[in-house]
Amino acid sequence: MTASAVDPSRLPRHVACVMDGNGRWAKQRGLKRTEGHAAGEEALLDVVDGALEVGVEWLTVYAFSTENWRRPTDEVRFLMRFNESLLVNRRDELHDKGVRIRFVGRRDWKVPKRLLRRMDESIDLTAGNGKLTLTIAFNYGAQAEIVDAIQAIVASGVSPSEVDEALLARHLYDPEMPDVDLWIRTSGEYRFSNFLIWQSAYAEMVFTDTYWPDFRRSDLFEAIVEFQRRNRRFGGLDD
Ligand code: IPE
Ligand code: IPE
Ligand code: MG
């Protein structure tokens, strides 16, 4: 599918994507799981180009969850180094394309200091860009995000009656992040896995059997076309 299939007047403003299936992609080819992660880099860059091509403003991708620490140490260590080098190798070209890079997730002691530094450098480098905001969810969990927000709210000393949806949203990792319109998961799994649960309360969900390393912008366009076929009611009625 090409970008021309997408109706430019009804774009999802915020697309979120669970980049899943790297391990199975590798296994299918007799490769190590980590080679599946490496192959996912091309998919990510192509999807970013696709988002730029049609004019999606916000793209958030799930790169490492708060639960992924349960994986073998070798794989976790690979993912830390891999994400660091991905940032170093790709941030200049993303910057040239007008992409603003941001992160959501817990910045705790478990994330290597060097990686945090690369994240901060990438944020600073691209802060002035306005075409597409690419948010990388790293050491991210939606439940942790909501807990962290509640801790900040309680610490601020507001009275319980002042707590509402807007206040909570202002205490999430990126208060500027709009709600998710289109929520995509690859690899044939049908679950949240703790990704952007608050922001996705009324997201349209699209699931595909494609493993992440095979996902390309054409698959993104297909998901957007499916999104444009949906009838969003937000609890109300048509018309
Ligand atoms: C997603 O692919 C990437 C990360 C979770 C970091 P997986 O590694 O979960 O691949 P599968 O689901 O085992 O195939
Ligand atoms: C979600 O995928 C996390 C990322 C893609 C980074 P997982 O592969 O970790 O999710 P589960 O364990 O299958 O639910
Ligand atoms: Mg998985």
Q: What is the pLDDT of residues 93-113, one digit of tens each?
A: 999 999 999 999 999 999 999
| Mean confidence (pLDDT) of the chain | 98
Within a domain: 232: no
Pocket of ligand 1 (CB under 6 A): 19-24, 64, 68, 79, 187
By the CB criterion, residues less than 5 angstroms from ion ligand 3 are: 20
Q: How far is the CA of 72 from the centre of ligand 3 (A)?
A: 14
Amino acid making up residue 104 = V
Q: How far is the CA of 189 from the centre of ligand 3 (A)?
A: 8
In Å, how far from its chain's centre is CA 147? 19
Within a domain: 21: yes
Question: What CATH number is attached to the domain comprising 46?
Answer: 3.40.1180.10
Within a domain: 239: no
Percent of the chain surpassing pLDDT 70 = 100
C-alpha count within 13 angstroms, C-beta hemisphere, residue 201: 8
Within a domain: 83: yes
- Domain range for 97 is 3-227
Over the range 152-186, which residues count as b (16 or more CB within 10 Å of their CB) and which as e? ebeeeeeeeeeeeeeeeeebbbeeebebbbbbbbb
> What's the average model confidence in pLDDT over 197-211?
98
Pairing of strands 58-65, 204-207: unpaired
Question: What are the two backbone dihedrals, phi and then psi, of residue 209, each rounded to the nearest 5 degrees?
Answer: -80, -15
Among protein residues, the one whose CA lies closest to atom 13 of ligand 1: 23
27: Cβ–Cβ under 8 A, 6 or more apart, which residues?
33, 36
pLDDT surpassing 80 at residue 3: yes
Out of 7, 22, 49, 68, the active site residue is 68
The tally of domains found in the chain comes to 1
- 68 an active-site residue? yes
Could you identify the residue written with the tokens 């994986």? 71
Ligand 2, residues 193, 208, 212, 215: which to mutate, most atoms within 8 A of Cβ? 193
Task: Determine the pLDDT at residue 238.
Answer: 83
Give helix 73-96 / helix 33-54 axis angle, nearest 10°.
30
